[in-house]
Amino acid sequence: MTHEIHHPVRVAIVGVGNVGASFAFSLLNSGLATEIVLIDANTARAEGEAMDLNHAVPLSQSTRIWAGSMADTAGALVTVITAGSAQKPGETRLDLAGRNVNILRALIPDVVKFNPDGIILIAANPVDILTYAAIKISGFPSNQLFGSGTILDTARFRYLLSQHFGVDPRSVHGYIIGEHGDSEVPVWSLANIAGMRLPVFCQQNNLACQDQVLDDIFQQTRDAAYQIIQRKGATYYAIAVGLTKIAEAIIRDQNTVLSVSSLIDDYYGMQDVCFSLPSVVDRGGVERILRLELSERELTGLQNSAAMLKQMNKNLGL
Ligand SMILES: NC(=O)c1ccc[n+]([C@@H]2O[C@H](COP(=O)([O-])OP(=O)(O)OC[C@H]3O[C@@H](n4cnc5c(N)ncnc54)[C@H](O)[C@@H]3O)[C@@H](O)[C@H]2O)c1
């Protein structure tokens, strides 16, 4: 009789700053991982976070947490890369690109060496550029390496819509696609509550639905990071929960539809660039990208976003 060997569910987090540490905290409380390894160039920081998180274990979920090295990515189901500089006030995500691509050049070859079969999930910004760079550096197939993309923007969008429409954000369905950043696109034509298109919902509930009202909601979505950074210096809780949702889809093989950034191959003629579209995520990573039927305006917006990202990849020599 053959015995199946069960390995512990290991998640590796490379970069344990605001985002990495918040993700570790969220993941610990989710109980999804049996092992969480924290890796940071600042080893004292990683050690401190591991100690603090371990002291929560008796009160939370049974999880082995330690500060490790890149060799500890071995066997991880997913390695999440948050290492990189954060956006500074007034700085766009694209300004960060060169600096953070160089960090990937140092880190990714080690993940490939120690963990050739695990998934790599990029969260550092600019996430679409870094995902593309990491695919090139790793040589991984595109299902196995992807970015958190607009998972956060989509959550912000749903929250802001929920405030206007007076329903639970989890009951509002809508997606932000394209770049995680200034050129992102709201898919208004498919947004809905209980399958009802927003104009119908507005009409029946006596709510304002003019272009200007909706545009304002989108602008708040798109500019949320700038607003938060101005007030508290960085954003991390919502992305941490977003990363936990992605990890959950992978660990539990859920086929969850999430707006994540992956390599696009012939989507309305767009290709060889990474950006976000609703995608089915399972144990193998991005199982497939959904082909939304977009309005003409949404498609033009997406094409602009793709062209901008492609130019950026080119400027960086990727
Ligand atoms: N995808 C999203 O939606 C989203 C949301 C928020 C922030 N971010 C991005 O996440 C990244 C991290 O943000 P943060 O606020 O946690 O920054 P932070 O400065 O608090 O943490 C970054 C960490 O990376 C570490 N680091 C840097 N170079 C490293 C290397 N070569 N190897 C290992 N560790 C290294 C640093 O020591 C630091 O601890 C940024 O790029 C930020 O823009 C993404």
Reported as a single tens digit per residue, the pLDDT across 76-125 is: 999 999 999 766 777 766 678 998 999 999 999 999 999 999 999 999 99
Ligand 1 site, residue 176, Cβ cutoff 6 A: no
Instruction: Indicate whether 152 pLDDT > 80.
Output: yes
- How far away, in angstroms, is 123 Cα from ligand 1 center? 8
Q: Write down the pLDDT at residue 96.
A: 80
- Say if ligand 1 is within 6 A of residue 79 CB: no
pLDDT averaged over every residue in the chain: 95
Is residue 231 helix, strand or coil? Answer: helix
pLDDT of the residue at 1: 47
Q: Which two tokens stand for residue 303?
A: 């094409």
- Atom index in ligand 1 nearest the CA of residue 18 equals 16
Q: Could you confirm whether 164 is annotated as catalytic?
A: no
Question: Rounded distance, CA 278 to CA 153, Å?
Answer: 12
How many A from CA of 304 to the centre of ligand 1? 27
% of the chain exceeding 70 in pLDDT:
96
Mean local confidence (pLDDT), 255-274: 97
Q: Is the CB of 80 under 6 A from ligand 1?
A: no
Residue 2 has pLDDT above 60, yes or no: no
User: Confidence class of residue 299 from pLDDT cuts 50, 70 and 90?
Assistant: very high
pTM beyond 0.75: the answer is yes
CB 23 within 8 Å of CB 85: no
User: What secondary structure, in 3-state letters, does 289-317 show?
Assistant: ECCCCCCHHHHHHHHHHHHHHHHHHHHCC
Mean pLDDT of all residues in 169-186 = 97
Instruction: Express as a percent the part of the chain with pLDDT over 90.
Output: 90
Q: Which pLDDT belongs to residue 89? A: 76
pLDDT in tens, 265-288: 999 999 999 999 999 999 999 999
Buried b (16+ CB within 10 A) or exposed e, 143-158: bbbbbbbbbbbbbbbb
User: What is the distance between the alpha carbons of residues 180 and 111, in angstroms, rounded to a whole number?
Assistant: 24
Q: How far is it, in rounded angstroms, from Cα 246 to Cα 223?
A: 23
**Given pLDDT bands bounded at 50, 70 and 90, which one contains residue 208?**
confident
